[in-house]
Amino acid sequence: MNRRTFLKRALGTLAGLVGISGGTYYYAREIEPYLLHIQKEVIASSKIPMSYDGFKIVQFSDTHIGFHYSLEKINKIISQINQQEPDVIVFTGDLVDNPENYRWNKELIKKLKSLTASYGKYWIYGNHDHGGYGTNILKDTMDEADFKLLKNEHEVIELDNDRIIIAGVDDVILGHPSIKDALNGTSPDLFTLLLAHEPDYADTAINYPIDVQLSGHSHGGQVRLPFIGHLYTPAYAEKYVEGKYLLNHDQFTLFVNKGIGTTRLPYRFLCKPEIHVYTLQHKQ
């Protein structure tokens, strides 16, 4: 769906919300976008070594800083993430809404650097990161903030001589994803978690030795209505929109994060911004 079609539909939706009540419009613009939800999930697998019981991975995604989401507002997100005492932090794309016009500064680096995780911080490109000539400046910013880019590559996380894999692919829309490169040299016997910005990439990932995929991109639809659900999601987030999906006879789990910020229009309705906290568990 192109920008014009999206705006037309979204404006029609919001006009309906305004028709319901001015309070609904105010809530969708000024209140819900800042009501952070912490979604906690347990990931249990026989492939997870016992030494990883209780290992925490925190995911945040789609901050879209600069589009009605200021740098100051990200302080709450950072505080909430650090309060979880994560072992690993992952960011699944779209840091800044429009990299070409964003006023880049050291303060953003400082804030991202203040995120702490015992076993590392990792990130992948989203479509907005590549767009607007953002590819290189995003890489430089995240490097300085101590985040490691997983662009068609993987990282081995070692704990008490046991190992798990965190892999990442480039953005589907504006990048060149290669899951083969991302998994090159890994063992299918090791628990493997994949970071992929677009959730519909799961239909490709299920053909590889991946146990869990973490994605964003959809924003959960941003605006959801009772009994109807989301009204719109972008390309490659049309099949899997939000929450947890069990695929490939329950051998593959997909989690879709609703993201932090907004894009195109600054509204959230019945679709609070969220971070995910995943706790690993060895399954007998």
Taken in order 139, 56, 215, 161, the sign of the CA dihedral is positive
Q: What is the mean pLDDT of the chain?
A: 92
Contact predicate 253/40, CB 8 Å: no
Residue 21: pLDDT over 80 = no
**Interval 86-114 mean pLDDT:** 95
- Radius of gyration from C-alpha coordinates of the chain: 18
Could you give the domains of the chain?
3-282 (3.60.21.10)
Spatial separation of the C-alpha atoms in residues 47 and 204, rounded to whole Å? 21
Largest CA distance in the chain: 60
Contact predicate 190/280, CB 8 Å: no
pLDDT band for position 232 (cuts 50, 70, 90): confident
At residue 13, the pLDDT reads 57
At residue 240, the pLDDT reads 98
At residue 9, the pLDDT reads 59
Which residue did the predictor score with more confidence, 12 or 216?
216
Q: Which of 70-84, 135-149, 201-215 has the lowest mean pLDDT?
A: 70-84
Share of the chain above pLDDT 90, in %: 79
* Of the candidates 179, 167, 257, the residue with the CA atom closest to the CA atom of residue 219: 257
Residue burial 74-93, b: 16+ Cβ < 10 Å; e: rest:
beebbeebeebebbbbbbbb
